[in-house]
Amino acid sequence: MLRRFLISMWLFSFASLMFVSVAHADNKAEKKPKLNEERILELTALIQAKPNDPAGYRMRAFQYARGHAWDKAAADFVKLASLRQGNSQIGQQIGVFLVLGGDTKTHEALCKEMLEGYSDSNDLGNLERTAKLCTLMPKPVGKLEKHLELAKRSVDLSKGRDFASHHHRTLGLVLYRMKKYDEAIDAIRAADKVDAAARFQIPSVIVCNRAIESMCLIRLGKLNEAKNVLAKATPVLTEKLKNQTALYGGNFWHDWLIAKILHDEAQQLVAKPKQ
């Protein structure tokens, strides 16, 4: 899976990737952290010595991500995926970097290939990741009715599983993009309920839930309620993003970056609710 995308992006000119990076850096709303150039040089030397070892690309990608050089992080994950075998998990991880870097064109190409590769899948992870990635930006990729179908199928398959809240969350996101705000809130409340009943809770999903719920409330004309809802998520996300070593040292770093993307969108909507 993702073979055409991986080939096309790996051959994509580095000049284009640099353009994305510069364009994102010009956004003064968020100050970019400083890159650890010394560590990046060390990892580059490691990659040159062992070009077929995915570990070097993964570690360097995380160094780029810490410095918000999202385009370079995405490029390293594309190479990592080509050395392993591209799947929906790596696909969504690449997609998260692309969204954060503002590379809408490459993100769209990735979404289209994931839709082609996973729409008929019976794997709940493939279904949920595809629906989520395609609706992660305000302008979704593909038909929302298809994403709704994928999200609903993933919810059905997730019943009784500890990570079921992910699937309800994504259903809520798709419904929000469809402007079905009351139904989206119902899906988010279901995600909260499933999360509370699981053997362990997933804080990144809860942050996403509050972001999606707050955006729905704004669209329903309930600005003050929306602000209160989002305020519950902001400290949790801020605290998590403080410790970058812990963030990228775990297995669920991409879930926190997804939470950041949705939280940032919600914050912008709170600031300008009529947009």
Domains identified in the chain and CATH numbers: 1-118 (1.25.40), 142-275 (1.25.40)
**Using an 8 Å Cβ cutoff, are 132 and 258 in contact?**
yes
State the pLDDT at residue 87.
Answer: 85
pLDDT along the chain (275 residues), means of 10: 52 39 42 90 97 94 96 93 82 95 93 94 96 97 98 96 95 98 98 92 96 98 97 96 87 94 97 80
Side chain identity at residue 273, one-letter code: P
Burial environment of residue 117 by CB neighbours within 10 A (0 to 12, 13 to 18, 19 or more) = buried
Entry pTM? 0.89
**Using an 8 Å Cβ cutoff, are 114 and 91 in contact?**
yes
State the pLDDT at residue 28.
Answer: 44
State the pLDDT at residue 148.
Answer: 98
State the pLDDT at residue 23.
Answer: 35
Side chain identity at residue 239, one-letter code: E
State the pLDDT at residue 29.
Answer: 54
State the pLDDT at residue 85.
Answer: 66
**Using an 8 Å Cβ cutoff, are 188 and 213 in contact?**
yes
State the pLDDT at residue 101.
Answer: 94
State the pLDDT at residue 251.
Answer: 82
State the pLDDT at residue 275.
Answer: 64
